[in-house]
Amino acid sequence: MDKIRLIAWITFKDCIRNKALYGIFFMGLILFSANIIITGMFTWELGKVAVDMGLSIISFSGLIIIFFLCLPILGNDIEKKTVYLILSRPVTKAHYIIGKYMGLGLIIMISSVFLGLCAALSVKISVMGAGTFIPPHFSWGMFTLSICYLTLSLLILLSLAFFWVCTSTHHFTAVLLTIMTYFICHNMENVKNIILSTKIMSSDSLSIKVINAVTWILPNLTAFDLKTTAAYGLPVNTLSLSWLLIYGVSYSVVCIMLTVLIFQKRELS
Amino acid sequence: MTAIQFNNVSKTYGQGLKKQKVLHDLSLSIMTGEVFGFLGPNGAGKSTTIKLLLNFIRPDQGDIHVKQCRVGKDNYLHHIGYLPETPCFYENLTASEIMYFSGKISGLKQDQLKEQTQDILKRLKLDHAQSWQIGTYSKGMKQRLGLALALVHDPEIYILDEPMSGLDPMGRYLITDVILELKQRGKTVFFSSHILSDVEKLCNRIAILNKGKHLFSGAIDEILPQYGSNLEHAFMNIIQTDDRGKNG
Ligand SMILES: Nc1ncnc2c1ncn2[C@@H]1O[C@H](COP(=O)(O)OP(=O)(O)OP(=O)(O)O)[C@@H](O)[C@H]1O
Ligand SMILES: [Mg+2]
């Protein structure tokens, strides 16, 4: 456990000093300013747009951090042989993967907290400006909750990225595969809805069931998107949210376990 | 007692058409307390052998033992200090942070570690740069830091892949000095090098590898009168004879 903590610690420290991270934060800030200005153009439903935009910005920045920071860091480790530094010590490959995941996961969480605060601020400012319409059931609790779920979905994507980096021989392939998974994840739900709306198939036909299963196996990242719920202040279903939490956590755990298994077989030449 | 033992080790890289055998049936033993030089032209398979020894890659055949432990089965890495061919670090960390990490993960106590780190960095003339980020280091400084990391937990066996590469004469002298001190303290050092004068100065025994084949191993004075007047001649002779034998 100590070893995992040490590995997580150096990963985190190395990443937090990376200039690219500040670039991403800076971009987030610019987008938030844009958020305030743009929402100023809507005369009504201003709060809703601000919330929706704020959450999108956090999610977008998170994706950039995963693709342009975490993936290259992990890929470099394996390609430039920085792993030798760690694996020539008395640690197992499992320690390495888990430590690395925790270090980078922490970066994502911190970025969500930081950008979440900025988002909250931008929502406050844009709502304050006009004394406008605020959705009747809007609550900061719901806002925070949706940021948490968004972060969880980013952590799932990170575990998938780990999986692809450790299975593919080149880190660019891993980037492509991760992007592909991400896109498929996000469009499965749409595909299903389109098929359902055409009424060619009933909702309990076999193919719909297969699509459903695939959606959850690929991780169903859309399920973690509570933007609309937060923006419209819709009522939340506690039970389904708890299930979602369990699903998200176990998905990442299983994914990291598989990564460890594959990484143990892999030669680092 | 043997510190490192290779038994009939073979290694192939790649698959299908690109398959390439880079180690043929290597058997070698290195005794405890010995400084062992591992020589061979570029691409001979020295680094491959060292990676096999650290279990980064697995042999097709044969087995490797470090002390009583079998590589790939038992835990033996706490006995080992390793310097990679091109040491790569997390560039945004400082030297003292990476030293702290390495010592701590190898099981050193806090106070022991602090002293050790200071001594070693001073010894390798890195103490003035210990709070710099490693990204700002020159190649030679990185090389010396790599050696510092191999030394930090005071292991019994040192595996150094070209410890002198990229160093100025002063740095080479420093490292030779460190290896001589390790030799005096009865540690085992297994290192590959292209700088034969250093090898001559340091080693008890050497092994010569060419294209994955083990050509010679033994004491330096066994090789000298027989193959050439100095180590450089002897080395050339052995390699050329082998190459000619293959072509002719
Ligand atoms: N990852 C790899 N994939 C395929 N072939 C490889 C790989 N690494 C090394 N080789 C091949 O194995 C052979 C031995 O390489 P190795 O790095 O062990 O040589 P070396 O003796 O360390 O050489 P040098 O003195 O240049 O460091 C070379 O022919 C090289 O082309
Ligand atoms: Mg080499």
Q: Which of B26, B46, B208 to mutate to test the pocket of ligand 1 (most atoms within 8 A of CB)?
A: B46
A20 close to B (CB below 8 A): no
Give A-chain residues touching B88 at CB under 8 angstroms: 80-82, 84-85
Burial of B182 (0-12, 13-18, 19+ CB in 10 A): buried
**Total domains present in chain A:** 1
Q: Say whether A80 and B88 touch across the interface (CB within 8 A).
A: yes
Q: Say whether B88 and A85 touch across the interface (CB within 8 A).
A: yes
Pairwise CA distance, residues B107 & B165, whole Å: 29
Question: DSSP 3-state assignment of A111?
Answer: helix
Q: What is the pLDDT of residues A30-43, one digit of tens each?
A: 988 887 787 777 65
B181 CA to centre of ligand 2 in angstroms: 25
CB B207 within 8 A of CB B23: no
- How far is residue A190 CA from its own chain's centroid? 19
Question: DSSP 3-state assignment of A88?
Answer: coil
What is the reported pLDDT for A133?
Answer: 57
CATH superfamily placement of domain B2-247? P-loop containing nucleotide triphosphate hydrolases (3.40.50.300)
Q: Six-digit token pair at B85?
A: 């061919």
Is the pTM of the predicted complex or chain greater than 0.90?
yes
DSSP state of A212: H
Domain boundaries, position A78: 2-265
Phi, psi of A88 (to 5 degrees): -85, 0
* Residue identifier of the C-alpha nearest atom 16 of ligand 1: B45
Give A-chain residues touching B162 at CB under 8 angstroms: none
Give A-chain residues touching B97 at CB under 8 angstroms: 10, 13
ipTM for this prediction: 0.91
DSSP A2-58: HHHHHHHHHHHHHHHT-HHHHHHHHHHHHHHHHHHHHHTT-SSSHHHHHHHHHHHHH
Q: What is the pLDDT of residues B158-217, one digit of tens each?
A: 999 999 988 999 999 999 999 999 999 999 999 999 998 889 889 989 999 999 999 988
What is the reported pLDDT for A123?
Answer: 81
What is the reported pLDDT for A196?
Answer: 77
Tokens 């710099």: give the residue.
Answer: B132
pLDDT tier, B247 (very low <50, low <70, confident <90, very high otherwise): low
Q: Which of B23, B47, B164, B239 to mutate to test the pocket of ligand 1 (most atoms within 8 A of CB)?
A: B47
